[in-house]
Amino acid sequence: MSEYLIEVKNLCKKFPIKGGLFGREIGAVNAVNNVSFKIKKGETLGLVGESGCGKTTLGRSILRLIEPSSGEIIFNGKNIIDYTPAEMRAVRRKMQIIFQDPYASLNPRMTVGDILAEPMEIHGLHTDKVTRRKRLLELLNQVQLPSDALNKYPHEFSGGQRQRICIARALAVEPEFIVCDEPVSALDVSVQAQVVNLLMDLQKDLGLTFLFIAHDLKVVEYISNRVAVMYLGNMIEVAESSELYGHAKHPYTKALFSAIPHASTHGRAGRIILEGDIPSPMNPPNGCHFNPRCWNATDECRKSFPPITDQSGTHQFRCFNPIN
Ligand SMILES: Nc1ncnc2c1ncn2[C@@H]1O[C@H](COP(=O)(O)OP(=O)(O)OP(=O)(O)O)[C@@H](O)[C@H]1O
Ligand SMILES: [Mg+2]
């Protein structure tokens, strides 16, 4: 058995843009462009990048909640890209997702007990009444909610508690892999740490593997073993957290991380301000997509798309002119 739970190879997702009188295809957004990465069992890969760079599209495409345009998704040694809906059902039990908004993702008319029982119902788990109830109480206990939560409705809970309900719902089917799409971004800062710590404890206890998407680079550094950076649909750099935060090779990563305040530099003294806006993903610039904003860009960067450089097998980046 491979040490990797999930291996993504050359994954692409194009969204066609339709327009005109007859709704013909007039272009496409390359939301995810030739992305490859692996996640080991029990590991957390953080995923960062500016709004619209394709993080959510990538996360959902891996679970085939959005159909990828091409590529391979190897989960537990099997390529699931061509699995039929029936085959996907069995795999989906092992791959779950937690969303950013714990308000929108819970049905307000269902009790917490029914919300947690629904995925078990779909997958035919714990079908008799006694074991079902036992499992429901176990789930509440795992996410540190009281057992009387079973008969309550989502509106009776705070944002942090609702996110715990969403986590319990994801755990209900005993997954191995969870895509966490900005799971704490909508929560108060004081609550964020509790939910992040809960996710880390659950990961340890249950041997979970995470793809953790977030804007907050501090949170990502805290929870992730390795971190990947996306820019305009491309994965431009991946490395161990400490390596990436300390020795970024790609100028975009460097600029992104320079925005984190450090006590030693009294705030944002070392901050790199990028010129210009993010280009449209419908019409990306030639060569390296970052070149119009890059202070290190050369003629080569304007002409060719940089291949992946693999430094000692643990640090990959797409840049012709990396930072030393
Ligand atoms: N259903 C869709 N149809 C057309 N374009 C889409 C669709 N979903 C996403 N896109 C486009 O794909 C690109 C990537 O979007 P995505 O939501 O994956 O970004 P993101 O990195 O998750 O952003 P954020 O940080 O704001 O959540 C964007 O340009 C977006 O407009
Ligand atoms: Mg998103």
pLDDT in tens, the chain (324 residues): 678 999 999 999 999 988 877 888 888 899 999 999 999 999 999 999 999 999 999 999 999 999 999 999 999 999 999 999 999 999 999 999 999 887 888 999 999 999 999 999 999 999 999 999 999 999 999 999 999 999 999 999 999 999 999 999 999 999 999 999 999 998 999 899 999 999 999 999 999 999 999 988 999 999 999 999 999 999 999 999 999 999 999 999 999 998 777 655 444 557 888 888 888 888 899 999 999 999 999 999 999 999 999 988 899 999 999 998
Helix, strand, coil percentages, rounded to 5, for the chain: 35, 25, 40
Q: Whose CA is nearest to atom 5 of ligand 1?
A: 15
**Residue 35 CB–ligand 1 contact under 6 Å:** no
- Between CA 260 and CA 241 the distance in angstroms is 14
Ligand 1 atom index nearest CA of 66:
1
> Kind of pairing, strands 70-75 and 4-19?
antiparallel
Cβ atoms within 10 Å, residue 6: 23
Give the CATH class of 4-94+175-317: alpha beta
For residue 310, the number of C-alpha atoms closer than 13 Å in the C-beta half-sphere is: 5
- How many A from CA of 181 to the centre of ligand 2? 7
The pLDDT of residue 20 = 79
Ligand 1 atom index nearest CA of 58:
18
Ligand 1 atom index nearest CA of 50:
25
Q: Exposed/middle/buried for 152, CB within 10 Å: 0-12, 13-18, 19+?
A: middle
- Which ligand sits nearest to residue 215's alpha carbon? 1
Domain locations along the chain: 4-94+175-317
- Between CA 177 and CA 95 the distance in angstroms is 5
pTM score of the predicted model: 0.94
Handedness of CA 170, 53, 65, 102 (dihedral sign): positive
